[in-house]
Amino acid sequence: MNLLTLGMVRVGVCSPELRVADIEFNTQKIIEAIDIAIQEECSVTVFPELCITGYTCADLFFQPSLLEAAKDSLMKISKHLETSGNTAIVGLPFAIGGILYNTAAFISGGKIHGIVPKTYLPNYNEFYEERWFSSANDCSVNSIEIAGISVPFGKDILFQAENFRDCIIGIEICEDLWSVIPPSSTQALSGATLLMNLSASNELLGKYDYRQKLVQSQSARCLAAYLYAGAGPGESTTDVVFAGHSLIAENGIVLSETKRFEFTTQIAFADLDIARLISERQKNNTFAAASGQIDFRVIPFLLNPSSSLKRSIAQNPFVPSDTADRNNRCNEIFALQSTGLAKRLRHIGSTSIVIGISGGLDSTLALLASIKTFDKLGLDRKGIIAISMPGFGTTSRTQTNAEMLSVELGVTLRIIHITASVRQHFKDLGHDETIQNILYENAQARERTQILMDAAHQTNAIVVGTGDLSELALGWCTYNGDHISMYGINSGIPKTLVRYIVEYASETDFASIGTILKDILATPVSPELLPPDADGLITQKTEETIGAYILHDFFLYYAIRLSFPPKKIYVFACTAFEGTYPPATIKKWLQVFYGRFFSQQFKRSCLPDGVKIGSVALSPRSDWRMPSDASATLWLKEIDEL
């Protein structure tokens, strides 16, 4: 596998072991780090500001011996990269016509492709760079000669990979990022997807967090990847200490970072998803509406590809892995749900809702969110009319849980059996009850919806729907049955997240009914439309029919949120679920996902109102617009060819 075919590239940030002004030593350490990067199949590695000489050389920068040795080092590093074809960006001082610049040299495949000088020179507090260097703004040349070869020079340079044209690299140096409008912003608007910063930012109390947030923010604002390489503790400690903080961020998320305060060389690697960044930019019309301020020179280079995917991929993209983050998210979701429903009730002046209770996960979450809504509004919980409607497939386990849940929460419980009315319906249609087909199942779902709607009219209430986002994606609902309500309180929450929210509730605000909630969590997901077995256990298990929800939620996130093609989703899924699901199983359910997602769009085209929860939503009014008769052939063909 070639990472470039997935629209991805492996990069590295390095804080090498360093001695101030010992160029021979520094060069050797940079080359050793490059060799490690090559072994890791890292395509591009960025090093700190002035790493060849050291940032803290002070007045030694005026010494011709230092400057000439730095040039020689640059040539030696370039020569070393000739065989591997890899790319490195290193910092060094460079004098042109009696003017000294703080620069970054872009080296690839043994060639120096360009040199970018620093624009903003800090001259405050512990910094006094203007004593030695001039700004890129003062530069009047656009090329220089190194070893008889003309090399592009200036701040108006971008570097584009010939074999991966979406990989466009922009370079800025340290203080540039701290400026009001960083050069990287203009670079991104001009097409740069990888933004590199060679830095020598000293360490102070609180600066680690600030620096990390700055890098995260710039990567998010620019819809780009941002590589920040910081100078290490080998720099002079006459007045300050450098920690060697280097990090890699992608669209606001830190993917990797080095350990700080280590005298040995530290390197962090990450597989960047350039195709994802391009997709985000295409969707973001604010990004498209902005324009760059500079006509950049675009310098081509060849990108050395990686042969394997090493990116950490979570099985649950909707669920934070950190417990504290997950709990915060669950609490936030309850706030969103309850506020959305509260606004609707306040608007229509209603103090009552009707909700169907099955003893399953979705209706349980809808009931808990409704409880929070009524408590928020100061309404009597008796205004929540929970209706249990036992049918052919209802088991004693789910029925008992539905009843206990309603009683313990203090809502109004109504039990209305649907068996007789559905049988009358079969009789009217001339349907044989022993034929347990789609009519047999959907007639029950529609009978339940009719009861809920009529009960709502009876009590001047609205029906609160219980269906979740995963069911909407797969069309796993009965059209004009559980597909319809007057407000879909769960419609923005995927099934995997529903489970975690109910679990969170069982341990926090609803711990008093924790035993009931935990049994609901342990119950197989089922619509309970087919009769139980001889032991009264559920026979119709949803995930045996359509596949595991953990897989479908994974597919949903990458197909809709990130617009990945099926091939890339498959590779990511095989990586994430290695040892859990074999590739053949992943391929099988991926085919099911795409087949159902396309064929069931007609159900999503007429969804009831419902609160948007996360970045993936399928409302036809605000998020997902798709023809109901769109063909899935292109996507299914790509899966067939895997």
Residues annotated as catalytic (active site), given as ranges: 49, 118, 174
Tokens of 257: 């970072």
Residue 352 Cα distances to 346, 382, 383, 415, angstroms: 11, 8, 4, 17
Which phi-psi region, left, alpha or beta, contains residue 475 (left: φ > 0; alpha: ψ -120 to 50)? left
Burial (0-12, 13-18, 19+ Cβ within 10 Å), 145: exposed
Are the beta carbons of 617 and 624 closer than 8 angstroms? yes
Q: How far apart are CA 34 and CA 515, in angstroms?
A: 57
Question: Which residue reads 């109390």 in tokens?
Answer: 205
Q: What DSSP designation does 368 have?
A: H
Q: What are the φ/ψ torsions at residue 168 (nearest 5 degrees)?
A: -120, 125
Q: How far apart are CA 56 and CA 620, in angstroms?
A: 58
Tokens of 14: 């390095």
What sign for the dihedral angle of Cα 376, 380, 385, 388? positive
481-518 core/surface letters (b: 16 or more CB in 10 A; e: else): bbbbbbbbbbbbbbbbbbbbbbbbbbeeebeebeebbe
Tokens of 566: 């099926």
Residue type, 11: V
Q: How far apart are CA 262 and CA 266, in angstroms?
A: 7
Are the beta carbons of 598 and 632 closer than 8 angstroms? yes
Q: Which residues pair with residue 6 across a beta bridge?
A: none
Q: Among residues 379, 377, 376, 354, which one has the least CA distance to residue 462? A: 354
Element (H, E) at 299: strand 297-301
Helices (H), 43-156: 64-84
Give the strand pairing for 225-230 and 194-199: parallel
Angle between helices 361-377 and 396-409 (to 10 degrees): 10
- Count of helices and strands (H, E) across the chain: 21, 20
Rounded to the nearest angstrom, the gap between the alpha carbon of residue 312 and the centroid of all alpha carbons in its chain is: 12
Give the strand pairing for 149-152 and 157-161: unpaired
> What's the CA dihedral at 482, 488, 494, 498 to 10 degrees?
-90
Question: Which residue reads 């709990």 in tokens?
Answer: 327
Question: Which residue reads 């009861």 in tokens?
Answer: 451
Q: What are the φ/ψ torsions at residue 435 (nearest 5 degrees)?
A: -90, 100
Burial (0-12, 13-18, 19+ Cβ within 10 Å), 565: middle
Q: Among residues 421, 440, 448, 479, which one has the least CA distance to residue 601? A: 479
Q: How far apart are CA 353 and CA 351, in angstroms?
A: 7
For 327, other C-beta atoms within 10 Å of its C-beta total: 15
